[in-house]
Amino acid sequence: MAITSRLKTTKAKLSNLESNKDIIKVAAIQMASGPYVAANLSEAERLIEIAANQGARLVVLPEYFAIMGLKETDKVAVREEEGKGPIQSFLAKMAKKHKIWLVGGSIPLVSNFPNKVRNSCLVFDDKGQLAARYDKIHLFGLDLGNEHYHEEKTIESGDAIKVVDTPFGRIGLSICYDLRFPELYRAMKDVNIIVVPAAFTETTGRAHWETLIRARAIENLSYVIASAQGGYHLSGRETHGNSMIVDPWGVILDRLPRGSGVVISTINPQYQASLRNSLPALKHRTISAI
């Protein structure tokens, strides 16, 4: 009788968790973008529609979703001023049309230098209004074998951490290489969701991507939505893909190894709260984030 009673109690708890009205569907979109903005926006529109039709209310696009140029300077030629331009108009239109919160991966915005851009993550609410902007702080540099990347040559770094309050909780914004700097996420102060739009190289992604994503989820007891570029690009670059959604315990809820597509899962604030109560590591910190 005692065992039966415990089973009934457990089933009731699971039922309550599943019926929690705060549970939402979220989606990470994976692309293999090329050098033509119009073609990339058309593909993004197709994938956003798939995500929305599956019930996603928060959708995250990858870094450089609108352009992966033949040359690093190609993005400078299509940079936009905040509030103006076809890429931003597209994001606002998609968010409003599908009544979703849309995280625009990253797009090139004007900087203080004529030969550089700000690599900016823009968040639009379900009415199509700009809710937040984050400019990538950490700029990728790599000299490994035949691979050479120096983002500082075409990108002006940002200098401000950004968290946005949404109907789904507090969302911390980051982009790609930021993932290697855990102090950034500590400084976000108790976020519910972390987004990481990215274009990790195949070399570094194969070695570190999953480990870093899961680590950021575990150490912050946060959901992580990591939307990536995944495949071969006309420039000859290969990106790692493996877009994924990870829960606060570090469990991968869904993933897509390669190619264009949609990764989708649910986020459960009640489950997250229970984990934070059971393992209050965020309250046990004795060293403040710098």
pLDDT for 17: 45
In this prediction, residue 146 carries a pLDDT of 86
Answering whether pTM is above 0.85, one says yes
pLDDT at 1: 42
Q: So what's the pLDDT on residue 20?
A: 63
Residue 210 has pLDDT above 50, yes or no: yes
Mean pLDDT of 45-59: 98
Mean pLDDT of all residues in 21-40: 95
Average pLDDT of the segment spanning 155-183:
98
| pLDDT over 90 at 286, yes or no | no
Q: What percent of the chain has pLDDT over 70?
A: 92
Is 176 annotated as catalytic?
yes
Pick the catalytic residue: 80, 116, 121, 176? 176
190 three-class SS = coil
Q: Would you say residue 16 has pLDDT above 90?
A: no
166-120-63 Cα angle (round to 5) = 90
240-264 tens-digit pLDDT: 999 999 999 999 999 999 999 999 9
Q: Residue 48 corresponds to which tokens in the numbers above?
A: 């956003």
**Domains along the chain with CATH numbers:** 23-278 (3.60.110.10)
Question: What is the Cα–Cα distance from 64 to 73, expressed in whole angstroms?
Answer: 13
> What is the predicted pLDDT for the residue at 285?
87
pLDDT at 15: 45
pLDDT the model gives residue 147: 84
pLDDT of amino acid 268: 97
63 carries an active-site annotation: yes
Reported as a pLDDT band with limits 50, 70 and 90, residue 13 is very low
Helix and strand counts by DSSP (H, E) for the chain: 8, 17
CA triple 148-204-109, angle to 5 deg: 65
Average pLDDT over the chain, rounded to an integer: 93
pLDDT surpasses 60 at 5: no
Q: Give me the percent of the chain exceeding a pLDDT of 90.
A: 88
pLDDT at 18: 46
Six-digit token string for 6: 């415990």
Q: Which residues are CB-contacts of 15 (< 8 A; sequence separation ≥ 6)? A: none
Given the residues 63, 80, 156, 202, the one annotated as active site: 63
Q: Cα separation of 75 and 2, whole Å?
A: 65
Using DSSP's 3-state secondary structure scheme, residue 273 falls into helix
Under 8 Å CB-to-CB from 174, ≥6 apart: which residues? 121, 134, 184, 185, 194, 195, 196
Catalytic residue among 75, 80, 116, 136: 136
Lowest mean pLDDT of 2-6, 97-101, 171-175, 203-207, name the range.
Answer: 2-6
